[in-house]
A and B are shown apart, each in its own frame.
Chain A
Amino acid sequence: MPRLTTGLLRHARSIDPLLTLLLRPCRDISSAQNELRWLREHAIKLEQNVNTRARVSGWRVLLRRLVAERARGKPLQYVMGSEYFGELEIACRPGVLIPRQETAASITCLADRLSRAKTLPSELRVLDLCTGTGCIPLLFQYQFWKTYQDEVSLHLLGVDVSSIAIQLANYNLRRLLKERQWQLQNRKMHGRSVQDLWGNKKLKSEVAAFQNTAFLLADVLVDPLSMTDHDPMPLKPAMQFTNKPPFWDVLISNPPYISPAAFNHTTARSVRAFEPKIALVPPSELDTPDVEQGDKFYPRLLTIADEVKVQLCLFEVADLNQAIRVARMVRDSSSWDGVEIWRDYPELANEHEEDRLHDGFEVIGQGNGRSVVCWRGRGAEWLSRANDVRSDRRRSSRIGA
């Protein structure tokens, strides 16, 4: 971490004393300036908001309070109560993990690919395990309707073990649904252009998808056979209990993936101090090597994938090493047709051609190794894009081929 020089601090103070405070969590002047601008806009908005006005004593006072909170290391997203996940603003609260930009980039890419698929089932069911704020299903459908032209009925289910997460996910769902319904109503009175019609179709599809979105409190890690009176319920009985369909098409998960050692050494202080550990580190077990502890969710996720018969999976991982370990699990299970690794920004061209293959797995995009994507049956079709130059290369990464 770069040290804050006195020169830098003096420079910040000459601009605005509040900036000096923000330098502590931000470390550089330009991100401190951005944060100050966002916080200021937020404070002004709070002052103008009729619902909060009574509690607010002028935005300047409020701003100072917000900056002070931020200076103590509290993540900006908790201070402001939201984070952008792709283009969607998602509500955030302490106790639930803040959605990450890298996750949004992978989900955007996945939804874009599916929305360009030539054939999709008339009802497409997407399961998101370890959903947190619910950001993944919400962004998936938003992004999907951006390009998808035909009729398809999207069904989404987000699952989490934490009840505050489920509450927040439901809140996000309700808020977005209301917003869309309101936009739809307002639009009806205006224009008739092609864009308007297209916009209306997208909004209607989104509303329908939101109405088919649910969040479920359940534990994905426990084996339903070994535990009987576990609270919350294991996934399978919880799904049965709430009449959810037994079979799904796509499985997405950003599970806790940080090993206990990595948690202590590589996570940022504000992550350790403010975000829930249960969202980051799998439950610890004695006598298990550290690395294995970090990987704990993936075998279980692959088992569930088989049980609910999905044809396409995307799992977020910590880095390229973990990606390769998970890709190996996929290969060894021999129930998949293919697997590849996506970096942080999978839609960007690889920086080096020789970077495309690691341990026999194809790696695409730029940034850190971020997700493992595997498919079988029609999942391969759903993933491919029109005039995909990589399609023959992808075949080469097929297992056993």
Chain B
Amino acid sequence: MRGAPWICRPCLIRALRPLSRRHARFQSNAAANPESISPALLSRAHALAAEHSQLAQKLANGFDARAAKKLGEISAVANALKEWEKANESLTELRTLIRDPSTDDELRSLASDDVASSAEQLDQAAQALTTSLVPKHPFASLPCLIEIRPGAGGSEAAIFAGDLLRMYQAYCSRIGLRTALLKYENADGLPESDSPLSEAVLEIESEGAYGTFRCEAGVHRVQRVPATETKGRTHTSAASVLVLPSFPSEGSGEMEDFDNPESDYYIDPKEVRTDIMRARGAGGQHVNTTDSAVRLTHLPTNTVVSIQDSRSQPKNREKAWQLLRSRIAQARREKREEEMVAMRRSVVGVAKMGRGDKVRTYNWGQQRVTDHRSGLTVHDLTDVMGGGHTLEKVMESVRTWLIERDIEAVIAGDEINGDK
């Protein structure tokens, strides 16, 4: 509890200190201005706090598992609101005191001296309150799958797709994230690292990877002179990056919701057709085929995944299930999000993070990388492509941007609900 009533002990001690020069600045700048947190967010917080005290009452009268769970979820908001209110109150009182002509000089200087730290406290409380209100992405704590495919631009796009894959691999190995290449297909079927890529699926097994890499989804554009270009012309091509939360495979026991038909990642095995590349003809001892490909088709959505990476058929099947589950869950979530976006139509700037949007440009000629969402431009292209610290900086800027969008969305959602 860091809430500071305005006439606290440190203030009294400081009463003897000379008057602060910064007095004027803080008065105009960092007073308890209501804009430091949006009214919409604030009213949402109030509503939740009210619910919180109701639930607390209910629990006092007897145990109710659902109420207890809900209480746990919103107690962070209630606490943050309390802190914020305290800070807000103390700053307001300080300001009133300073403005009041009847305040004697000594007390006024004492109050002004305290404005700075109180304003800072309010700022922190506002930030904490905001974060407590923004819903954490439900899959943020999961590992993830990054799917990379070349877009427009022929073989140059395929080469760039390979560059992106290596960029993420280097990044992960630098910061110590475990990765596994689930699928790697070259335009020519060779694992040569510099040959063009037709599809790659990189799994980042570490927890929380989805939260880290969610910002990478979208179309990445490259502008450079391809190696094959004889006239030295710059080409523009693109690769698409899809980021999916990855659900642990069956039997690992981490997800108790695995068999829960309500959850996003539930798939009814009866709705999946399994095609195994069977030996032609008799099979068994008659042939010694090396075909280990497995293809799964989710019939209701006609989603098809096929994996032939490993010589082991069950391994291919496991990977295929993992990929299918992730794709279906993502599709379901996107659909829900689209419905939400439609609901919040009035809001500008809620960008969908999906397949379609051009999110970043890598320009070789100018050695720069610009992210179109956060607006950040960096110049150390080599470090970005090498998965270095500069890439981290770009990703961080997008994550911050995403949080801001989330806040807007929450506010917008509340405004819509408030209208009803």
> Chain A interface (Cβ within 8 Å of chain B)?
15-16, 19, 26, 29-38, 40-41, 75-77, 83-84, 86-87, 89, 97-98, 100-105, 108, 146-147, 194-195, 198, 254, 256-258, 262, 266-268, 270-271, 275, 279-280, 316-319, 344-345, 348-349, 367-368, 370
Given the known interface contacts A15-B188, A15-B189, A40-B191, the answer about A102 and B290 at a Cβ–Cβ threshold of 8 Å is: no
Residue with the highest number of chain A CB atoms closer than 10 Å, among B191, B281, B312, B315: B312
Chain A residue nearest to B316 (CB atoms) is: A84
A-B contact pairs, 16 of them (CB 8 A): A31-B290, A34-B293, A37-B191, A77-B288, A87-B314, A89-B312, A100-B288, A101-B289, A103-B284, A146-B251, A195-B253, A258-B286, A268-B286, A345-B274, A367-B276, A368-B283
> Chain B interface (Cβ within 8 Å of chain A)?
188-191, 251-254, 270, 274, 276, 278-279, 281-293, 308, 310-315
Q: For chains A and B in complex, what number of residue pairs have CB atoms within 8 angstroms?
A: 123
Partner of A35, one of B188, B253, B290, B314: B290
Check if A271 sits within 8 Å of B287, measured CB to CB: yes
Check if B285 sits within 8 Å of A280, measured CB to CB: yes
Given the known interface contacts A76-B290, A258-B285, A344-B278, the answer about A84 and B270 at a Cβ–Cβ threshold of 8 Å is: no
Residue with the highest number of chain B CB atoms closer than 10 Å, among A34, A97, A108, A316: A34
Report the minimum CB–CB distance from B189 to chain A (whole Å): 3
Given the known interface contacts A86-B312, A268-B286, the answer about A31 and B291 at a Cβ–Cβ threshold of 8 Å is: yes
Chain A residue nearest to B310 (CB atoms) is: A84
Chain B residue nearest to A103 (CB atoms) is: B284
Given the known interface contacts A83-B311, A86-B312, A87-B314, the answer about A41 and B288 at a Cβ–Cβ threshold of 8 Å is: no
Given the known interface contacts A266-B281, A318-B286, the answer about A84 and B292 at a Cβ–Cβ threshold of 8 Å is: yes
Report the minimum CB–CB distance from A110 to chain B (whole Å): 15
**Which residues from chain A contact B281 at a C-beta distance below 8 Å?**
266
> Can you list the 3 inter-chain pairs with the closest CB atoms, starting with the nearest?
A33-B189, A84-B312, A15-B188
Residue with the highest number of chain B CB atoms closer than 10 Å, among A37, A108, A262: A37
Chain A residue nearest to B285 (CB atoms) is: A280
How far apart are the CA atoms of A367 and B254 in the complex, in Å?
Answer: 34
Report the minimum CB–CB distance from A196 to chain B (whole Å): 12
How far apart are the CA atoms of A367 and B251 in the complex, in Å?
Answer: 27
Check if A87 sits within 8 Å of B311, measured CB to CB: no
**Which residues from chain A contact B286 at a C-beta distance below 8 Å?**
258, 262, 266-268, 271, 318
**Which residues from chain B contact A317 at a C-beta distance below 8 Å?**
284
Check if B311 sits within 8 Å of A38, measured CB to CB: yes
Chain A residue nearest to B281 (CB atoms) is: A266
**Which residues from chain B contact A30 at a C-beta distance below 8 Å?**
189, 293, 308
How far apart are the CA atoms of A267 and B188 in the complex, in Å?
Answer: 31
How far apart are the CA atoms of A25 and B88 in the complex, in Å?
Answer: 79
**Which residues from chain A contact B283 at a C-beta distance below 8 Å?**
100, 102, 344, 367-368, 370
Check if B253 sits within 8 Å of A270, measured CB to CB: no
Check if A19 sits within 8 Å of B189, measured CB to CB: yes
Check if A98 sits within 8 Å of B270, measured CB to CB: no
Given the known interface contacts A84-B311, A348-B274, the answer about A100 and B189 at a Cβ–Cβ threshold of 8 Å is: no
**Which residues from chain A contact B276 at a C-beta distance below 8 Å?**
345, 367
Check if A195 sits within 8 Å of B252, measured CB to CB: yes
Partner of A271, one of B188, B190, B288, B313: B288
Check if B188 sits within 8 Å of A316, measured CB to CB: no
How far apart are the CA atoms of A266 and B292 in the complex, in Å?
Answer: 21
Check if B291 sits within 8 Å of A268, measured CB to CB: no
Check if B290 sits within 8 Å of A108, measured CB to CB: no
How far apart are the CA atoms of A150 and B193 in the complex, in Å?
Answer: 47
How far apart are the CA atoms of A316 and B270 in the complex, in Å?
Answer: 27
Check if B253 sits within 8 Å of A268, measured CB to CB: no
**Which residues from chain B contact A87 at a C-beta distance below 8 Å?**
312, 314-315
Check if A101 sits within 8 Å of B308, measured CB to CB: no
**Which residues from chain B contact A280 at a C-beta distance below 8 Å?**
285
Check if A16 sits within 8 Å of B285, measured CB to CB: no
Report the minimum CB–CB distance from B284 to chain A (whole Å): 5
Check if A101 sits within 8 Å of B292, measured CB to CB: yes
**Which residues from chain B contact A34 at a C-beta distance below 8 Å?**
189, 290, 292-293, 308
Residue with the highest number of chain B CB atoms closer than 10 Å, among A84, A103, A105: A84
Chain B residue nearest to A195 (CB atoms) is: B252
Chain A residue nearest to B311 (CB atoms) is: A84
Check if A41 sits within 8 Å of B191, measured CB to CB: yes
Partner of B189, one of A36, A101, A275: A36
Report the minimum CB–CB distance from A16 to chain B (whole Å): 6
Report the minimum CB–CB distance from A268 to chain B (whole Å): 4
**Which residues from chain B contact A84 at a C-beta distance below 8 Å?**
292, 310-313, 315
Partner of A268, one of B252, B287, B310, B311: B287
Report the minimum CB–CB distance from A382 to chain B (whole Å): 21
Check if B314 sits within 8 Å of A275, measured CB to CB: no
Report the minimum CB–CB distance from B319 to chain A (whole Å): 12
Given the known interface contacts A84-B315, A86-B314, A195-B253, the answer about A318 and B188 at a Cβ–Cβ threshold of 8 Å is: no
**Which residues from chain B contact A31 at a C-beta distance below 8 Å?**
290-291
Chain A residue nearest to B278 (CB atoms) is: A367
How far apart are the CA atoms of A267 and B254 in the complex, in Å?
Answer: 46
Partner of A16, one of B190, B251, B278, B312: B190
Check if B284 sits within 8 Å of A37, measured CB to CB: no
Report the minimum CB–CB distance from B63 to chain A (whole Å): 27
**Which residues from chain A contact B284 at a C-beta distance below 8 Å?**
100, 102-103, 257, 316-319, 368, 370
How far apart are the CA atoms of A157 and B291 in the complex, in Å?
Answer: 30
Partner of A267, one of B191, B287, B313, B314: B287
Report the minimum CB–CB distance from A95 to chain B (whole Å): 14
How far apart are the CA atoms of A194 and B256 in the complex, in Å?
Answer: 14
How far apart are the CA atoms of A254 and B291 in the complex, in Å?
Answer: 21
New A-B pairs, 9, CB < 8 Å, besides A75-B288, A317-B284, A368-B284: A16-B190, A35-B290, A40-B191, A84-B311, A86-B314, A262-B286, A267-B287, A271-B288, A316-B284
**Which residues from chain B contact A319 at a C-beta distance below 8 Å?**
282, 284
Residue with the highest number of chain A CB atoms closer than 10 Å, among B253, B286, B311, B315: B286
Report the minimum CB–CB distance from A23 to chain B (whole Å): 12
Check if A271 sits within 8 Å of B285, measured CB to CB: yes
**Which residues from chain B contact A41 at a C-beta distance below 8 Å?**
191
**Which residues from chain B contact A76 at a C-beta distance below 8 Å?**
290
Report the minimum CB–CB distance from B153 to chain A (whole Å): 20
How far apart are the CA atoms of A155 and B105 in the complex, in Å?
Answer: 93
How far apart are the CA atoms of A87 and B278 in the complex, in Å?
Answer: 18
Check if A266 sits within 8 Å of B313, measured CB to CB: no
Chain B residue nearest to A28 (CB atoms) is: B291
Report the minimum CB–CB distance from A298 to chain B (whole Å): 14
Report the minimum CB–CB distance from B283 to chain A (whole Å): 5
How far apart are the CA atoms of A8 and B240 in the complex, in Å?
Answer: 30
How far apart are the CA atoms of A16 and B311 in the complex, in Å?
Answer: 21
Report the minimum CB–CB distance from B158 to chain A (whole Å): 13
Residue with the highest number of chain B CB atoms closer than 10 Å, among A32, A36, A368, A370: A368
Residue with the highest number of chain A CB atoms closer than 10 Å, among B191, B285, B287: B285
**Which residues from chain B contact A29 at a C-beta distance below 8 Å?**
189
Report the minimum CB–CB distance from B282 to chain A (whole Å): 5
Report the minimum CB–CB distance from B360 to chain A (whole Å): 31
Given the known interface contacts A38-B311, A86-B312, the answer about A266 and B282 at a Cβ–Cβ threshold of 8 Å is: yes
